[in-house]
Amino acid sequence: MRTYTRLPLRLIKGKGCWVWDEQNTKYLDAVAGIATCTLGHSDKALELSLRRQLKTLQHISNLYHIKEQEDLAEWLVDKSCADSVFFCNSGAEANEAAIKLARKYGHKKRGIKKPIILSAKSSFHGRTLAAVSATGQPKYHKDFDPLVEGFKFFPYNDINFIENIITNLEKSQPSISAIIIEPLQGEGGVNPGNRNFFLKLRELCNKHEILLILDEVQTGVGRCGTWWGYEKVGIEPDVFTVAKGLGGGHPIGALLVKENADFLEPGDHASTFGGNPFACRAALTVVKEIERRKILENVNARSSQLVNGLIDLHKAFPNNIKETRGWGLIQGIVLREETKITSYDIVNEAIKQKLLIVAAGPKVIRMVPPLIIKKNEVNILLERLYSTLKEFI
């Protein structure tokens, strides 16, 4: 079905941070499956691990204990603030699970008949109906109403607005079950969360017994230079969701909760494929390779290099570039509103320069390369980005 406007490329193979098309043209991949191919393409450790897994079990049912799933859950709990995990197949599914959890929490813990979940404007939480209803971008809602009710929106990083909403809605009786928010808005324009905002948000949620849910689908698993995006804003959520980079290109998602938010019981939620041995083996390999190879150190080193290069690009093209922003290896270039150039123009021109980048809205260019990207590859990225932007002067 025509649900994608595809770029004029048919990619057939990849290695590390590079991909090739049918004509054997080689491209530097700063998209990585949209922040997904953590270890790059055709990683040897991942290949060997999954070959071994295919000789044992690839899928059984969650009716039985699954060792790979338990090992991954143990690793995730050990490396985060969470106490338990539910596995699914994608970020949208993880956020769906979080929404169901928030509603049950509202009913059982706070006695709310119609729980409200607050979400940020310009957010993105997925394409399923509840997840898209929680997404604060009207363009994703068009033609899909009636949407799932029970969501209200606030401007990102605006604590005063949230305080007013909570004051008004909680005036006579409990009404708000949860707040769902990204520590950095990815699809919404590579917009980082403000640390003071998140500290005050955590205080408000504690005061009113509101669940704080962080959508870490794009920011989690080392993308920001820390294991989790919540570490960048100095707080711990009650609930957070992950996917994308966790599987290194293999479908897996997870809902992680602290004990105070662990309200789901047998029969409340399920997933046929969620947490199957193959997906969990992929995720276990990814996280252990990040540890073994000290990849977080690489993320931070390459991030500094990339940020400095983007600042130089800003100076070189001041009439087109408004600012650069991001954390770790999720970085964005914000184009000036008055320029006629769009991010989609830049993405298409970059292909001609043998560079793959991705838009985050009409005026933001996003770079999310594999976390293994090397120093010389960042230099190539910057050189090709310069050549791309130069075409528009």
Residues 23 and 91 in one domain: no
Instruction: Assess whether 205 and 330 both reside in one domain.
Output: no
Q: Residue 121 corresponds to which amino acid?
A: K
Residue 239 counted as domain residue: yes
154 within 8 A of 165, measured Cβ to Cβ? yes
pLDDT score at 84:
98
CB 246 within 8 A of CB 91: no
Residue 15 is assigned to a structural domain of this protein: yes
Same domain, 233 and 300: no
DSSP labels, 111-143: --SS-EEEEEBT----SSHHHHHT-B-GGGTTT
- Please give the full DSSP string across 238-261, using - where no structure is assigned: SEEEE-GGGTTTS--EEEEE-GGG
Do 141 and 239 share a domain, yes or no? yes
**Which structural domain, as residue segments, surrounds residue 367?**
11-30+294-390
The answer to whether residue 4 sits within a structural domain is no
Res 172: pLDDT: 86
Query: What's the CA gap between 256 and 371, in Å, rounded?
Result: 23
Task: Tell whether 226 and 300 lie within a shared domain.
Answer: no
CATH number, position 89: 3.40.640.10
Tell me: do 22 and 115 sit in the same domain.
Answer: no
Q: Give a yes or no: residue 119 inside a domain.
A: yes
Q: Are residues 345 and 283 in the same domain?
A: no
Given 292, 326, 348, the domain boundary residue is: 292
The CATH number of whichever domain residue 325 belongs to comes to 3.90.1150.10
Q: 339 and 257, same structural domain?
A: no
Both tokens assigned to 141: 């809602």
Helix (H) or strand (E) holding 296: helix 295-316
Give the DSSP H or E segment for 349: helix 343-352
How much is the pLDDT for 88?
98
Q: Are 87 and 55 members of one domain? A: yes
**pLDDT tens string 98-138:** 999 999 999 999 999 999 999 999 999 999 999 999 999 99
Residue 118, strand partner residues: 152, 179
Write the pLDDT tens digit of every residue in 281-317: 999 999 999 999 999 999 999 999 999 999 999 999 9
Residue 40 resides in a domain: no
Last residue of a domain, one of 292, 319, 341: 292
CB 191 within 8 A of CB 122: yes
Q: Give yes or no for residue 154 having a pLDDT over 90.
A: yes
Domain end position, chosen among 292, 316, 334: 292
Q: What is the pLDDT of residues 359-370, one digit of tens each?
A: 999 999 999 999
The answer on 187 and 72 residing in a single domain is yes
Q: Are residues 174 and 266 located together in one domain of the fold? A: yes
Q: Count the domains in the chain.
A: 2
* 272 and 196 in a common domain: yes
In tens, the pLDDT along 2-46 reads 999 999 999 999 999 999 999 999 999 999 999 999 999 999 999
Cβ burial of 106 (10 Å; 0-12, 13-18, 19+) is: buried
Confidence bin at 393 (pLDDT 50/70/90):
confident
